Amino acid sequence: MADERIDVVVIGAGQAGIATSEHLRRQGIPHVVLERGRIAERWRSQRWDSLVTNGPVWHDRFPNLEFSGLGPDEFATKEAVADYFVEYADQIDAPVREGIEVTSVRRDGPGFRVETADGAIQAQQVVVATGPFQLPAVPPIVPADTAVTQLHSSDYRNPDQLPEGAVLVVGAGSSGVQIADELLASGREVYLSVGPHDRPPRRYRERDFVWWLGVLGLWDLTTPPEGAEHVTIAVSGADGGRTIDFRELAASGMTLVGRSESYADGVVRFAPDLADNIAGGDANYLGLLDAADAYVARHGLDLPEGPDARVFGPTPDCVKDPVLSLDLADAGVTSIIWATGFRSDYSWLQVDALDADGRPAHRRGVSTEPGVYFVGLPWLSRRGSTFIWGVWHDAGYVADHIATQRGYAAYRP
Ligand SMILES: Cc1cc2nc3c(=O)[nH]c(=O)nc-3n(C[C@H](O)[C@H](O)[C@H](O)COP(=O)(O)OP(=O)(O)OC[C@H]3O[C@@H](n4cnc5c(N)ncnc54)[C@H](O)[C@@H]3O)c2cc1C
């Protein structure tokens, strides 16, 4: 017999859980948000110290609360982001219970039994908001017992945490490039393993790239490009925000290498794809400039031209003549940071809401198990779904769906 009954249990109090709570509140739907840590725990404890948002705060926020103390074009620190969600939860008096981990969800008659370390709750509906980026995904390339420190980007905090010596950073999305840049600035020798990526201009014609992606409808794309589940996007809000330019990083002393492929006898081998990956990023960058120019012309906007944005520096030697293998000891590499993304674990979700590979089976967050919903997943409805401003709309859709189903359940002729 379950201890407590409530209409909806939301699991996780990151931005997805808080947004869901707000939309359920607006619909007058009783609910509770269970969070195993603190509100926005991942922003507090699973990001590096110097991280700031990738988007300026006028954009990376919920529609009805601004970041206090920051100008619209500034980038919030990770602590400011976590504080923002605490402030938001306070503002709506969100029924968040911190320090409560959900250990299983099972169907129980018309609803669900939600087990926690603190007792069971009986819920009519469950919203899973446990994050798009849950567990470190490290490719099995370098064995764990190799005499080199290996960390995932979610465990990296700052350069002082690493033993003396050079560092190989694997992955050149926003985490990898920012960590590599910080390590280089701290005086480390850095190798950066660069795979395929998008590389938008930080600002073009007086507009941030988040604005361009918005007006061009690119945040609203509903499916990832063919063959990709995730768009690796090399972008940074650090130091007030600047375009990631791999030529500049190489010119300041970073050694770029291709995708990390294999390891044997102390030597990491890289694919011969560095020049192609840089060219792919350049094409993405130039494509956005072209689309922006076309948009300006079509709408007759008065935005200054930016011809300098099309001028690239010389191709670095490490791209022309790439390093294809690196003897870690000879190169003095004592650490490897894997900025290689995340995976999920839904083993506790024991309902028919997952596909054969254990991944959420849903349409716009409405799962194949009636009454179970997901919010905050990559591409849940569109490219923007995992972002602070994007999850808002998905949470609204899910809350609407819950309200509609409650209407059917309540109907009596
Ligand atoms: C390095 C990095 C930088 C990012 N920068 C930006 C940015 O600048 N702008 C932007 O818009 N987005 C950014 N994102 C993307 C996204 O905003 C974050 O990943 C965000 O944390 C996702 O929020 P969420 O609520 O969906 O999930 P999470 O923040 O992961 O929240 C899920 C919550 O669920 C809890 N939980 C998990 N399992 C259980 C359980 N069984 N029981 C109870 N609680 C549980 C967790 O403790 C966690 O608090 C970034 C992501 C990363 C990795």
- The DSSP result for 187-215, as a single string, is T--EEEE--S-B---SEETTEEHHHHHHH
- Report the distance separating Cα 402 and Cα 334, nearest Å: 52
Q: Which of these, 225, 215, 343, 365, lies nearest to 284 by C-alpha position?
A: 225
Contacts of 299 (CB under 8 A, 6+ apart): none
Ligand 1, atom nearest to 38 Cα:
49
Contact 122, 5 (CB under 8 A): yes
- What's the confidence (pLDDT) of residue 1? 46
Domains 4-134+344-410 and 142-338 share a fold: yes
Here the tokens at position 3 are 């201890």
Locate all alpha helices (DSSP H) within 207-316, ordered by sequence: 209-215, 246-251, 274-299
Sign of CA dihedral 127, 375, 395, 50: positive
CA-nearest residue for atom 28, ligand 1, is 131
Q: What is the dihedral of CA 181, 195, 133, 125, to 10 degrees?
A: 150
For residue 17, the CA-to-ligand 1 centroid distance in Å is: 10
Q: What percent of the chain has pLDDT over 90?
A: 96
Q: Tell me which long-range contacts 215-220 makes (C-beta under 8 A, separation of at least 24).
A: 215/295, 216/288, 216/291, 216/292, 216/295, 218/383, 219/382, 219/383, 219/384, 219/387, 219/390, 220/382, 220/383, 220/384
Q: Which fold has domain 142-338?
A: FAD/NAD(P)-binding domain (3.50.50)
101 lines ligand 1 (CB under 6 A): yes
Strand-pair partners of 115: 104, 120
Pick the CATH number of 4-134+344-410 from 3.60.40.10, 3.50.50.60, 3.40.1390.10, 3.20.20.60: 3.50.50.60
More confident residue, 207 or 117: 207
- What would the pLDDT profile of 267-299 be if each residue is shown by its tens digit? 999 999 999 999 999 999 999 999 999 999 999
- Residue 154 Cβ inside 6 Å of ligand 1? The answer reads no
Q: Using H for helix, E for strand and C for coil, what is the string for 54-65?
A: CCCCCCCCCCCC
Say whether pLDDT at 326 is over 60.
yes
Q: Is the CB of 47 under 6 A from ligand 1?
A: yes
* Residue 2 pLDDT > 70: no
Sequence-ordered alpha helix ranges (H) in 64-173: 78-91
Instruction: List pLDDT tens digits, range 220-252.
Output: 999 887 777 777 899 999 999 999 999 999 999
pTM exceeding 0.85: yes
Tally DSSP H helices, then E strands, for the chain: 9, 22
Residue 386 beta carbon below 6 angstroms from any ligand 1 atom: yes
Q: Is the pLDDT of residue 172 over 80?
A: yes
Task: Please tell me what DSSP assigns to residue 3.
Answer: S
pLDDT confidence of residue 226: 74
Q: Is residue 347 a contact partner of residue 128, using CB atoms and an 8 Å limit?
A: no
Mean pLDDT across 56-65: 97
Asked if 382 contacts 376 with a C-beta cutoff of 8 angstroms, the reply is no
Domain locations along the chain: 4-134+344-410, 142-338
Q: Say if strands 166-170 and 190-193 run parallel, antiparallel, or are unpaired.
A: parallel
pLDDT-derived band of residue 3, with 50, 70 and 90 as boundaries? confident
